[in-house]
Amino acid sequence: MAAFCILTLPENPYFSMNTICQYLKKTSDQIDTVFRFALFLTLMAMIILITAQIIFRVFFTALSWSEELSRYLLVWSSFIGTSVAFKKGAHIAVTFAVDLLPDTPKKLLGTLSCLLMAIFFFITIRYSINLFNIQLFQVSPAMGIKMRYVYMIIPICFSVMSVHLLSQISDIWRTEPQVEI
């Protein structure tokens, strides 16, 4: 889809590939802003909860549910952080050979890489929804909350990463080759 962003199509103010690419980027940026805030909230809640657990364990009676909740918050913050890191391009990548390629093969290889990631995201979303449905009625032992709330973060984050991926593909084809001086 992103390859069409470089084509010159008749300008239609309501529907053009440039408009779609700009909308994808704007949507990706807005979702990233929400996810950064959610990451901040989950990490702060986890810090407060673990600190309270330590204080209660030393001075009072230990909170039976705090360890379980902090574990679930850790899972949520890990997946949310993965999505934020994916948007920034902060995941580990070996780019030595790719950087040596000319511009067009580099774009094609980037698009192929994005296509493989899209397949992985689709498979992960599909099977995480199956896992979500299996855990539909399971309840956590200490807190009594439904486990579906814990597992629902997996398809949500991979869906968000799919939006980031579409935006990334459009960026690959929209950027002009960089001239080194």
Going by pLDDT thresholds of 50, 70 and 90, the confidence category of residue 8 is very low
Q: pTM (2 decimals)? A: 0.81
Provide the β-strand partners of residue 139.
146
Instruction: Give residue 153's identity as a one-letter amino acid code.
Output: I
Sorting pLDDT into bands at 50, 70 and 90, what band is 137? confident
Residue 3 lies in a domain: no
Q: What's the pLDDT tens digit per position in 28-77?
A: 999 999 999 999 999 999 999 999 999 998 888 888 898 999 999 999 99
In a domain, 7, yes or no: no
**Structural domains counted in the chain:** 1
**Residue 13 — very low, low, confident or very high, per pLDDT cuts 50/70/90?**
low
Is there a domain that residue 75 lies in? Answer: yes
Tally Cβ neighbours within 10 Å of residue 14: 5
Q: Is the pLDDT of residue 96 over 80?
A: yes
Q: Which two tokens stand for residue 122?
A: 């689709």
| Mean predicted confidence (pLDDT) in 111-131 | 94
Residues, the chain: 181
Higher local confidence (pLDDT), 170 or 8? 170
Question: 165 with 121: CB under 8 angstroms?
Answer: yes
**Residue 93 resides in a domain:** yes
Interval 143-158: pLDDT, tens: 889 988 889 999 999 9
Q: Is residue 166 part of a domain?
A: yes
Q: What is the mean pLDDT of the chain?
A: 86
- The number of beta carbons lying within 10 Å of the beta carbon of residue 75 is 14
Mean pLDDT of 109-119: 92
- 173 contact partners, CB below 8 Å, separation of at least 6: 2, 3, 5, 6, 107, 111
> Does 16 map to a domain?
no
Three-state DSSP class for 89? coil
Q: Is residue 128 within 8 Å of residue 155, measured between CB atoms?
A: yes
Domain with 42, as residue range(s), is 21-174
